[in-house]
Structure 1
Amino acid sequence: MSLTDAATEAEHVPEQVAVVQGKGPWQLAWERLTRDRAAMVSLGVIAVIVLLAVLAPVFAAVTGHDPQEQFPSIGLSPQGLPIGPGSGFWLGADSLGRDLFVRLLYGARISLLVGLLSTLLATVFGVVVGMFAGFYGGWVDGVLARVLDVVLSFPYLLVAIVLVAALGAGVPLMIFVIAFFSFAAMARVVRGQTIAYREREFIEAARSLGAGKVRTMFVDVLPNLIAPVTVLATLLIPTSIVFEATLSFLGLGVDPRTPSWGAILADSIDFFRVSPGLLIFPAAMLLLTTLAFNLLGDGIRDALDPRSDRLHTRK
């Protein structure tokens, strides 16, 4: 075959060039996460709970029942006991004749608000303290590490009871208390990771280029901490939710008149035998929410681990 014939034949061959597209670590992590059925189901459950909490005023308008409104004539039996689920009250009523379904949705708002905000504050503060302790070392690390040890040694519930008794119950105080006792665990993890990174080659390269310590921490070290911080923050949310429910159950959380899962559980103590829904429904919501966040946190941890892809595909 001549060169001319070969060139002519090549012109009629369709250009099929295999294009190799690179994938970043976050894209690969998302692909691993989407293959984790438990994590995706948990993400869907969390999305539904958040949607129900957002639409709580809509359901209150549809049912015609304000979360604080009492219906002693239709929400209580002739004996003065809370009624069970029915057409008028979808999940029944509480001991004062208030709509349990509506109060559960408004309680989800409190639990999610406290859980997310306290975790956000704990994460921000814990990351900053942990990075400074791990990167600077020396006396800075010694002082901050001892502070973390002291915070972790406090009996959480006892200190929370004292603070609430002294300052009064309320959502802001509860968020502060939970964040204060959660940041130490975050700071300790970040400190350990920072110590491992501060002697790496890319950190030495940044120093050789004249980068300051603060810039090196937030520009070079912090991006490498996003994965463990994200996992730990996801697992701190259910802990904060349970902490809020515990304080509300003891009457030390939100105002007793404010709908809260812990307060609803406390209300069920004297009536769960005649109206088991008062105990079952808030306990189920609390269990479902915390379980979903825990499973999602486990899924995110596996998705961010490069070895998990090989482990899942291994036969």
Structure 2
Amino acid sequence: MSLTDAAFEAEPVHAEVVHGKGPWRLAWERMRRDKAAVASMVVIVLVALLALFAPLFALITGHDPLTQYPSTALTPEGLPVGPGAEFWLGADSLGRDLFVRLAYGARISLLVGLSATVLATVFGVVVGLLAGFYGGWVDGVLARVLDVVLSFPYLLVAIVLVAAVGASVPLTIFVIAFFSFAAMARVVRGQTIGFREREFTEAVRSLGASPLRIMVIDVLPNLVAPVTVLASLLIPTSIVFEATLSFLGLGVDPRTPSWGAILADSTDFYRVAPGLLIFPAVLLLLTTLAFNLLGDGIRDALDPRR
């Protein structure tokens, strides 16, 4: 044995272990490098904490969101007071604490935005999967249903429903989800049409797998990325939708704290009490902008070409 061979035997070579990274871990690492996405997550967390601790803020200030305090929250002329030690952001036109109402309004906005998005996503994925996978007359019927839904004037429908049933949070969630699921269904339908003729679906079909099994096990996991991106962008749309309906008096009960209702209250008092307009508008802008930036960040993070 030569000296060179002996040296190689005496010093074994240790192979470097390479750990693979899954697509979701890679996406998370890309998200962490996206400063805009990180900043948007911080804003969303702060708004969520504002909504979560709304009862605590009401306890600290001693002001209920529905209680009027005319002796301390209104001037002798009957105008709302500005920000101060007792009313941190001032009061509204009826003498209610504006900060407490904004905190409870965050609850309504997040509840409606998230609930409507979940409902729209579930129904949109189901309809889109059925239409895209089966094709033929099933696709034709469901596609026409989506066209009819998208052709409805949503404000007219909201007015009719409110007149018939009365304004409420569940009704607002239903109206928003009804007009949002069609967009989700169209995206899912287009993606499903592309997947149903791919080699992996043909292979599973040749093995005798049922259509339900193919849709749920083979096609649906490939739709997670586009559905997640679209759902994250539907949340701010739903929040603005709710604020618009509440501003017009067609959303939640007018007595319920809502950013849209607070904005509607500011139309007659924004000159003497600009906080009634500025504070809810800034909260609405920051929240919707944060969700939009987060949606853009999720889209970029899930893009395998990045």
Q: TM-score, normalised by structure 1?
A: 0.94
Residue matched to 1:10: 11
Work out the CA distance in 2 between the residues paired with 1:37 and 1:7.
49
After superposing on structure 2, the runs of 4+ consecutive aligned residues of structure 1 that deviate more than 2 Å are: 1-9
Q: Kindly provide the amino acid, as one letter, of the partner of residue 87 in structure 1.
A: A
SS in 1 for 2:85: coil
Is the aligned partner of 1:47 residue 2:45? yes
Is the aligned partner of 1:169 residue 2:158? no
Alignment of 1:214-229 (within 5 A): 214-229=212-227
Please give the per-residue CA displacement for 1:100-143, whole angstroms capped at 9, x wherever unaligned.
00000000000100000000000000000000000000000000
Shift of 1:2: 3.3
Shift of 1:159: 1.1
Please give the per-residue CA displacement for 1:133-188, whole angstroms capped at 9, x wherever unaligned.
00000000000000001101111111111111111110011111110110000000
Work out the CA distance in 1 between the residues paired with 2:201 and 2:188.
16
Instruction: Say which of 54, 57, 78 aligns to 2:55.
Output: 57
Work out the CA distance in 1 between the residues paired with 2:202 and 2:125.
21
Shift of 1:77: 0.8
Work out the CA distance in 1 between the residues paired with 2:40 and 2:295.
10
Percent of aligned pairs with the same amino acid: 77
Work out the CA distance in 2 between the residues paired with 1:225 and 1:4.
55
Work out the CA distance in 2 between the residues paired with 1:296 and 1:4.
58
Shift of 1:17: 2.7
Residue matched to 1:66: 64
Residue matched to 1:296: 294
Is the aligned partner of 1:143 residue 2:158? no
Shift of 1:209: 1.2
- Inter-CA distance 8–210: structure 2 relative to 1 (3 Å threshold): closer
SS in 2 for 1:74: helix
Q: TM-score, normalised by structure 2?
A: 0.97
Residue matched to 1:31: 29
Shift of 1:16: 4.1
Residue matched to 1:244: 242
Alignment of 1:54-203 (within 5 A): 54-203=52-201
Residue matched to 2:228: 230
Please give the per-residue CA displacement for 1:286-305, whole angstroms capped at 9, x wherever unaligned.
11100000000011011111
- CA RMSD in angstroms, aligned pairs only: 1.2
Please give the per-residue CA displacement for 1:238-284, whole angstroms capped at 9, x wherever unaligned.
11111111111111111111100011011111111000000000011
Work out the CA distance in 1 between the residues paired with 2:145 and 2:260.
31
Residue matched to 1:313: none
Instruction: Say which of 270, 273, 295 aligns to 2:271.
Output: 273
Shift of 1:5: 4.1
Q: Kindly provide the amino acid, as one letter, of the partner of residue 276 in structure 2.
A: L
- Inter-CA distance 19–76: structure 2 relative to 1 (3 Å threshold): same
5+ long unaligned stretches in structure 1: 310-315
Work out the CA distance in 2 between the residues paired with 1:107 and 1:191.
35
Residue matched to 1:262: 260
Work out the CA distance in 2 between the residues paired with 1:119 and 1:8.
64
SS in 1 for 2:24: helix
Work out the CA distance in 2 between the residues paired with 1:158 and 1:256.
19
Count matched residues. 305
- Inter-CA distance 236–7: structure 2 relative to 1 (3 Å threshold): closer
Residue matched to 1:206: 204
Work out the CA distance in 2 between the residues paired with 1:265 and 1:247.
11
Work out the CA distance in 1 between the residues paired with 2:206 and 2:125.
25
Q: Kindly provide the amino acid, as one letter, of the partner of residue 10 in structure 2.
A: E
SS in 2 for 1:253: coil
